[in-house]
Structure formats: C-alpha cells, structure tokens
Amino acid sequence: MRETTQTYFPSLENIKAAQTILKGIVTHTPLMRNFTYSDKFGAKITFKREDLQVVRSYKIRGAYNKISGLSAEEKGSGVVCASAGNHAQGVAHSCHLLAVKATIFMPAPTPRQKVEQVRFFGKEFVEIVLVGDTFDDAQKEAISFCNQHSSIFIPPFDDQKVIEGQGTVGLEILEDCGNPIDYLFLPIGGGGLASGVASVFKTLSPQTKIIGVEPAGAPAMKNSMALGQNTKLDSIDKFVDGAAVQQVGDLTFEICRTHLDAVVTVPEGLICSTMLELYNRDAIVVEPAGALSVAALAQFAEEIKGKNVVCILSGSNNDISRTEEIRERSLLYEGLKHYFIVRFPQRAGALKEFLVEVLGPTDDIVHFEYTKKTAREKGPALIGIEQQQKADFDGLMQRMKEKDLNFEYLNERPDLFGFIV
C-alpha cells in the first residue's frame, strides 16, 4: 500500500484550458439519445459517444494535453508510456502530431487489434514493447526504461494534466445536454476519466449523482474506498483489459472518493451481454470497458425511472477475434449454456440414451470431447449444452439425476475456461 500525500483537485479553469489546447485535435463527440435503453428503463438515457473519438477512446484527450505541455528539451528526450491499448493509442497519435518519439510498453495479452492501431497512429514515431501479463507489469518496465534513458513518463491516469484532459468530456456533456442531468454513469479503470469528469460536474452540475462502474474482477477503486486507503488488489480478472488495473492512482483515489456518489461493480458476463445487446439493437460497437456504464443501469432501475441519465461509452477498440469468447461469457452469465463432465458407462448405447432420454427437445450440444478408455468402466466426456430458456436448466438437471449419471457441473468452477478454451 502507498500513502497518499497529494491533495490535488483539478480546477475548472485548468480543464477549460485543456479544452482550448485540444480544439482541432480531438473530436467533440456526440451526446446521443438511446431509445432502446430509454424504453427499457423508463428514463431518458443518453450516450456520450467517446467510442467515436479519433482514436476510438477518450484517452487522446489526456495524452495530448500532457505531451503538448512538455518543454522542447523534454520532448527531445522522448516519452514513454504503459498501457493496455487505449492510452497507448492516445500517446501514439499525440506523438505523431507533435513529432515526438515514444516508447510504448503494453501487456503481452493486449488484443492484437490494439497493438496494430498503436502502430498505425504513431507511425515512425513509436516503438512498441510487449511485456508482462498486466498493466502493472508493463508500467514497472516502462518506469525502469525512463530511469535508464532519462525519458518522460506519460501516466495513463494519475497525472494532473492527464486528468484535466479527460475532464473535457464532462465539459462537452454539459454543453450539449439541454436539461439537468440526474445521473451520470462512467467507467473506472485507473480513475483518470472519472476524476476529471466528476470534478467538472461537482462544480457545474452538483445535483447530478455520479456513479463509477468497475468490472467485478478488478474492483480496485471500490475496494480501496471500502478500506479507506488506496490499496493494490492481489489479483484481477484481465478480461476487461481497458479497465483491469490492480491499483488506481493516488490522485484519482482522493478525487473519486470525494466526488463520486457511488462505485459499483458489474460481472464480466453481464458486460458481454451488454456489448452484444448494444451491437444487435443499435449497431454500437464497444470494447468491454466501453460497456461498463450501460451494464450498471439495471442496478439502478428504480432510481432512474423518469430521470435524465447520461452514460459514457468510453471506447470501441475491441478485437473481433474475441467475439466468440464474448458470446460464451454472455451465455454462461445468462444461464443459457452449461458445461458438464459426464462419466459414461463404457458400453454401446450409453451416449444414445443421454441424447434421447436426458436432453430436452430444444437443448443443443455445442461442445463434446470424449476418448474411449478400454481399461476403465466409465469414460469421462466434456459436454457443453446450450438452451433456449434459462428455466430449462432445472429439467435437465432433474433428468440427469433420474438417470443416475455420474457427472460434475462445471459452470460454477473458477477454472471453467481452463476446460473449454
């Protein structure tokens, strides 16, 4: 744990100055009414579409505001950053525009699409280093590199200029929204966006309730708030790569615990369901972190009825190769897909009995792995079953028990994906 000694809170004056610097560099993204979710929750739901930003996320705002303010000598030394992708793209594009050399450290599991986009936006000004498993691993290597080469580190969230740049999202929302905003939902990774935007709202729209949203597998801000100090998580689920950090910033922690009305978490499976719903209903493509704010609406269904609600869609840098995993996680969360290890008697007809007498009329086997073991009485099979209705599961379980099958239900196991991926 690190002790916080900073008492910095971004001023409205500095955030407006950042907006002036960013004019002509970033896109003033639209604030768009969403009728699907407005009807679903009986509220006026509006999306701030940072997924349509020039680098497909808000991160360009903080990165450019920081790098543009460096001295000529500092720019000449080159800059360094660590990022799961979006901050890297913001830094890369900023360095291309400002003709500044950058070395960018990214976690090894970063989706290939994000790595390629960093190269695209940075052109000849960027060198990419893939290292470690998490953002924190990459940041450690980046800071070490800075110390060795006297380069300037560009923090992804815990920096005054970065926070002030991200805060310009809040200015745009209030400029474009004609009516008072009752609720604002925004994602939290390291806390830079939440800190900047919340600072704007607490000054210009203090009646707005601000809800920060984290993935359930990486609740760094919520956990730190509960403990009363900025605390590093022992481990995280890295699926929501744009928001999966083990520890938030010292600056952002102080700002968020002062300005946010609540911090909630949403399961990764629900995030996936929300991503698919946004695409299928409204043709909106977001990355997992970009769906966080919308995924949290159901937790506030009663409170937001009849209210004016804004959700920030923070980014759309999603790798299409992850689509199958996103669908898989969604089906598991919705209770429509189930995995079992079934130990069949090694006799003719055992599998046929399972198909005819155990499966329901609309049940579909979508995964099957089996190898006959001649020296054993029973042979294990890994079976994935997809169902049409969540309620169908109880009947399936009852029939399996009535047939006295030797089976193990895998969905509740934390290592499930070790079996099926």
d(CA 170, CA 199): 8
**Can you give the pTM of this predicted structure?**
0.90
pLDDT tens, the chain, 421 aa long: 444 454 799 999 999 999 999 999 999 999 999 999 999 999 999 999 999 999 999 999 999 999 999 999 999 999 999 887 889 999 999 999 999 999 999 988 877 777 888 999 999 999 999 999 877 788 899 999 999 999 999 999 999 999 999 999 999 999 999 899 999 999 999 999 999 999 999 999 999 999 999 999 999 999 999 999 999 999 999 899 889 989 999 999 999 999 999 999 999 999 999 999 999 999 999 999 999 999 999 999 999 999 999 999 999 988 888 899 999 999 999 999 999 999 988 788 888 999 999 999 999 999 998 876 655 667 788 999 999 999 999 999 999 999 999 999 999 887 776 666 5
pLDDT of residue 413: 82
Per DSSP (E only), the strands in 140-294 are 152-153, 183-187, 209-215, 262-266
Count the neighbouring beta carbons within 10 Å of the beta carbon of residue 6: 13
pLDDT of residue 1: 44
Say if residues 119 and 128 touch (Cβ distance below 8 Å): yes
d(CA 250, CA 152): 19
Coil/strand/helix, residue 44 = strand
Residue 318, Cβ density class (10 Å: 0-12 exposed, 13-18 middle, ≥19 buried)? buried
Coil/strand/helix, residue 348 = coil
pLDDT of residue 5: 54
| 77 has catalytic annotation | no
Say if residues 173 and 310 touch (Cβ distance below 8 Å): yes
| 314 has catalytic annotation | yes
d(CA 18, CA 25): 11
Nearest CA-CA partner of 270 in 248, 247, 293: 293
d(CA 206, CA 24): 29
| Domains delineated in the chain | 12-58+161-327 (3.40.50.1100), 60-159 (3.40.50.1100), 335-420 (3.30.70.260)
Nearest CA-CA partner of 34 in 264, 281, 296: 281
pLDDT of residue 4: 47
Question: Which residues sit opposite 185 in a β-bridge?
Answer: 211, 311
Q: How many residues make up the chain in this entry?
A: 421
d(CA 217, CA 17): 36
Catalytic residue among 195, 224, 314, 330: 314
Coil/strand/helix, residue 401 = helix
Catalytic residue among 44, 48, 59, 209: 59
The residues near 378 (Cβ < 8 Å, ≥ 6 apart) are: 343, 344, 345, 346, 406
